[in-house]
Structure 1
């Protein structure tokens, strides 16, 4: 689904103005340890399979739904890798819509399915080695692309902000 009725209604009221958007993204690796990236086309940059959390949906439910819609793959979230947001996670779409994402990034286990976008939001879907990853639309930290064996979850901190608490 390109845009839910909720966001269509919100956009009809605020136009292209900046809105806060709770979202999810998935790290999905194949058996060669390559990461799945999505190219939406239309002048946008590459991304992880990702999307907005809908009303009444948990972040884990949202990542399963979004991955299915954008890739045709069924996944199971294994671990929360990090939560990201703030000014660095603002994005302006080619149509002028502005968002500030608050993103829950999950490490996901592939269950089944074949790469075949369902919702028309993906022009290309490619598994790519982390050292060859394309330029992404959002500044995810390198940590989330590594082989993660610890149970650590990455929290985005500004050390200066933390020192002022």
Structure 2
């Protein structure tokens, strides 16, 4: 589901003006320690599995829901990598909607499921090595994608 009813109603009131959105993203690694990225439809950039937090939802609940909706995977958030925001996290969508994400990034492990684009938002899902990350819509700090070997990731 690309946009929830809650955010659709906000957009009806503010048009394409800038919205500050609390959001989440997941760093998910496969058995080769490659990181999962998605290529959204109608985009020119890749992204982490991610999305906005809905009213009444905790960030951890949101990341589990978003990953399931976008990838078909059930995950468990195991660590908060960091919380990021500011001008580097602004994005203008093809329809003109302006957003600035305040994003909590979780390190996650796969619990179950089969990798499959579920909600129609992702055109492609693919794992990449840390040294070959594709062009991303948001500028994450360098350390976000470094494996934490102490946790076995």
TM-score range, shorter chain: over 0.9
Matched, 1:45 2:54: no
Query: How far, CA to CA, are the matches of 1:123 and 1:99 in structure 2?
Result: 21
Query: Runs of 5+ in structure 1 lacking a partner?
Result: 152-165
Count matched residues: 151
Matched, 1:124 2:95: no
Q: Post-superposition shift, 1:101?
A: 0.2
Which residue does 1:154 correspond to in 2? none
TM-score by length of 2: 0.96
Asked which structure has the greater CA Rg, the reply is 1
Query: What does 1:147-158 align with in structure 2 at a 5 Å threshold?
Result: 147-149=147-149
Matched, 1:136 2:144: no
Which residue does 2:109 correspond to in 1? 109
**1:31–1:137: structure 2 CA closer, same or farther, 3 Å change rule?**
same
Query: How far, CA to CA, are the matches of 1:70 and 1:43 in structure 2?
Result: 15
Which residue does 1:27 correspond to in 2? 27
Query: How far, CA to CA, are the matches of 1:46 and 1:97 in structure 2?
Result: 18
Matched, 1:94 2:63: no
Q: Post-superposition shift, 1:43?
A: 2.9
SS at match of 1:111: strand
Query: What does 1:61-100 align with in structure 2 at a 5 Å threshold?
Result: 61-100=61-100
Query: How far, CA to CA, are the matches of 1:43 and 1:90 in structure 2?
Result: 15
Query: Runs of 5+ in structure 2 lacking a partner?
Result: none
Q: Do 1:49 and 1:66's aligned partners in 2 also have CA atoms closer than 8 Å?
A: yes
TM-score by length of 1: 0.89
Which residue does 1:162 correspond to in 2? none
SS at match of 1:112: strand
Q: Post-superposition shift, 1:117?
A: 1.6
Out of 37-46 and 76-85, give the one that drifted further.
37-46
